[in-house]
Amino acid sequence: QRFPSNCVIKRDEEKCSEMMALDQSGKDSEFGCPWMWDNLTCWRPASVGDVVQVNCPELFLQFMSEDDYEVGKVSRNCTEFGWSETFPHYIDACFYEEGNNTHPDMYYASVKALYTVGYSTSLVSLTTAMVILCRFRKLHCTRNFIHMNLFVSFILRAISVFIKDGVLYAKEDSEHCFIHTLECRAVMVFFHYCVLSNYFWLFIEGLYLFTLLVETFFPEKRYFYWYIIIGWGTPTLCITVWAVLRLHFDDIGCWDMNDNAAIWWVIKGPVLASIMINFVLFIGIIVILVQKLQSPDIGGNESSIYLRLARSTLLLIPLFGIHYTVFAFSPENVSKRERLVFELGLGSFQGFVVAVLYCFLNGEVQSEIKRKWRSWTVNRYFAVDLKQRHPSLASSGVNGGTQLSILSKSSSQIRMSSLQAETPAT
């Protein structure tokens, strides 16, 4: 996880204070220079004449490109008058990357603005898509039910991000860095649950489509209950285990920083597993599509076949979350800026893309909306026409549907009377 520079400083300061409290040797008279925190680095005790060299603080490392940046070092002399000034200076030793003039706070603010717009757009479009799928009964099927659960997971993910930002970053200072309240930790638990649920429902979308293509007889309703258990139940189990481990072994701050890698893998492991399995399913589905498109039963020349394949591939990428494989298995300290922009910034628009492709541009959904619109237009036209022709019905408070039924009944009675009159007597 990434966090602002002031939180990095506060965390390092707290670690330095803990080491000072545990190490009593630093208070002995044999050391001319005791422990010291200079607001950037923690300096261990040293004897007079010693030269202490340390790596540049993490504050500088997190803003540099790992490809071009080498870890710098700074030193201090221990003199009879105490610690000397650092040499070289922090700026000269640690912050020398060419072309990097972006201020860290401005950079984080830009990324935050980008993903705020993305999640807001996704939230509006997904909510609209949910209303459409819930409103029209003809769209109620297993496939759309799975889409609706995926939409809900995207909605919860966006809401959890806004709640987390509201709790952690309501103020611009560093007071949020070591909040120990139950409310703050509950927010982080909810946030991780929503993110993990979203990954699992992306996995279920891939599993459902792959099973649909492979299985000849597919009991969709029976499988759907297992999908619900996997999509919402498995993240609950993982987050519960993670919260218990954090409470007993890493109960620091608001649980927003994951310094304990072993505990963090309780969440990270299932996420990477879902991404990897979805990628394998994606490749399998592409192979099946190629085989089906090359079948002699399907017409079209070679160019049209590749065009259909390309279209199907592009449609599946956001639904399966294939873009997450770009940085999924790379170390977290590699390409930090690119990872942050890609996963947080551009990834926030994934819900919007999924809602557009699988609801608004869905042919079945569009046909149902057009049918309902035509039905409403016809009913409204006949209701207005009936009100003009039979004002007594309109003034009696009879609604449009009742008026139409009365009109249809009277019309059928008139037609029957006409037929009886035209039939010759036997």
Question: What does the pLDDT look like over 1-57, one tens digit per residue?
Answer: 444 556 677 777 778 887 887 776 545 556 678 888 888 888 888 888 888 888 887
Tokens standing for residue 229: 């258990």
User: Each residue of 323-366: pLDDT tens digit?
Assistant: 888 777 766 655 667 777 777 777 899 999 999 988 888 888 88
The two structure tokens encoding residue 226: 């297992």
Please tell me the distance from the alpha carbon of residue 351 to that of residue 365, in angstroms, as a whole number: 18
Residue predicted with more confidence, 396 or 88: 88
Residue 274: its pLDDT value, please?
Answer: 93
pLDDT score recorded for residue 18 = 79
pLDDT per position as a tens digit, 165-189: 888 876 655 455 656 678 888 999 9
Of 320 and 308, more confident: 320
On the CB side of 217, how many CA atoms lie within 13 Å of its CA?
0
**Fold classification of 25-94 (topology level):** Hormone receptor fold (4.10.1240)
Mean pLDDT of the region 399-408: 48
CATH topology for 104-370?
A: Rhopdopsin 7-helix transmembrane proteins (1.20.1070)
Question: Is pLDDT above 90 for 63?
Answer: no
Collapsed DSSP state (helix, strand, coil) of residue 405: helix
Q: What confidence category does residue 91 fall into, taking pLDDT thresholds of 50, 70 and 90?
A: confident
| Residue of higher predicted confidence among 421 and 224 | 224
232 pLDDT band, cuts 50/70/90, is very high
The residue assigned the tokens 């919860």 is 156
Domain limits of the chain?
A: 25-94, 104-370
| Higher local confidence (pLDDT), 234 or 45 | 234
* Average of per-residue pLDDT across 242-252: 90
Distances (CA, A) of 110 to 7, 92, 102, 336, 345: 18, 26, 11, 15, 9
* Size of the chain in residues: 426
Residues in Cβ contact with 218 at an 8 Å cutoff, skipping those fewer than 6 apart: 211, 212
pTM tops 0.95: no
